Structure 1
Amino acid sequence: MDYSICDIAESNELILEAAKILRKSFLDAGNESWVDIKKAIEEVEDCIEHPNLCLGICLDDKLIGWTGLRPMYDKTWELHPMVIKTEYQCRGIGKVLIKELEKRAKGRGIIGIALGTDDEYQKTSLSMIDINERNIFDEIGNIKNVTNHPYEFYKKCGYMIVGIIPNANGKRKPDIWMWKDIS
């Protein structure tokens, strides 16, 4: 497969396609964060604002996924979001896109990338137990992927779990924080 990388901000067509992919990919995973296309477009527009990085990946000149990077700290930025059309997932496309994003981030002097990956739908073992100060580190260390949670994808890309916010999205709905040194 011959992929090309594009800048989402290049055209209104790419912005609209990115919004459609964002909305559908999250809906396919059971997440209704973007209730309509207008909200999804607003999210893409936020992602393309300066100084953010926002890259897409195309196959045969059609956008099939995209990702963004925005300032979090001076030298560590946050990856947000990362979406690949559902029918193209698990084919290595996300890895290609993340590698390109990391390369460009490094060129800007960024040395670390952080991300949060929510578990709102009991996709990991972390959402199946009440997390407290006695068990938090053991539970993180022994995390299990129950039903295709993306944290495992990020681990394969070199990211490590650096912590969780146990009830970030409601009772037993943690946000898993990950980070990678790209220096």
Structure 2
Amino acid sequence: MQIINMTQVNKTQIMQAAQISTDSLPIGWGGILAPVYNGNVFELHPLAVRSNHRNQGIGRAIVTALEDEARNQGGLTIYLGADDEIGDGETSFANVDLFDNLPGKTNDFTAGTHQSGFYLKLGYKIIGVMPNANGIGKLDIYFGKGLR
């Protein structure tokens, strides 16, 4: 796995990136943004794995490498946001009034085929939601993980 220092791109954009390649073709890629909260918090963004290479540990390897990099830079927390759409891949939060009893809905959360299942397996927890962020019933779900 290759860790790419991208601080020369723009400190407010992707700071570090990890890439897995085969035959010089990237099959998975992810990044962390420049830290916030006095260097304590990093955002994992983006993460992409070619569809024909999923479920092979590539995403896990990239996320682990980026978590290690954030930890090495003094990070205490890493987080990410994930869109929840209505239809294929939706979670139990999709198209639900999250202003009513959010704690109860969080306790009963099911990922379905949404990428949130992947992050939950890696130890991430739901730390918040933004209802209707992408339209009525289409929210963003925020996941976080401690790095210490």
TM-score by length of 1: 0.71
Compute the displacement of 1:157 (Å): 1.0
Is 1:114–1:178's contact at 8 Å kept on the other side of the alignment? yes
Structure-1 residue corresponding to 2:110: 144
Q: Tell me, yes or no, if structure 1 residue 127 matches structure 2 residue 94.
A: yes
C-alpha distance in structure 2 between counterparts of 1:127 and 1:99, whole Å: 28
Is 2:44–2:79's contact at 8 Å kept on the other side of the alignment? yes
Structure-1 residue corresponding to 2:21: 58
Structure-2 residue corresponding to 1:49: 10
Compute the displacement of 1:6 (Å): 4.4
CA-atom RMSD in angstroms: 2.1
C-alpha distance in structure 2 between counterparts of 1:49 and 1:182, whole Å: 24
Letter of the 1:7 counterpart: I
Structure 1 or 2: larger strand share?
Answer: 2
Structure-2 residue corresponding to 1:28: none
> Where does the alignment leave 5 or more consecutive residues of structure 1 unmatched?
10-45
C-alpha distance in structure 1 between counterparts of 2:43 and 2:72, whole Å: 16
C-alpha distance in structure 1 between counterparts of 2:125 and 2:103, whole Å: 14
Letter of the 2:144 counterpart: W
Is 1:47–1:54's contact at 8 Å kept on the other side of the alignment? no
Q: Work out the percentage of aligned pairs sharing the same amino acid.
A: 32
Letter of the 2:2 counterpart: I
Structure 1 or 2: larger helix share?
Answer: 1
Q: Which of 49, 52, 55 lines up with 1:90 in the alignment?
A: 55
Pairing of 1:14-53 with structure 2 (within 5 A):
48-50=9-11, 52-53=15-16
Q: Which of 32, 47, 68 lines up with 2:31 in the alignment?
A: 68
Letter of the 1:76 counterpart: V
> Where does the alignment leave 5 or more consecutive residues of structure 2 unmatched?
none
**SS of aligned partner of 2:94:** helix
Count the aligned residue pairs. Answer: 142
TM-score by length of 2: 0.86
**SS of aligned partner of 1:96:** helix
C-alpha distance in structure 1 between counterparts of 2:102 and 2:8, whole Å: 32
Compute the displacement of 1:111 (Å): 1.2
Deviations 1:131-175 (A, max 9, x none): 22x3211112111123x1011101111110011111111111110
Compute the displacement of 1:47 (Å): 10
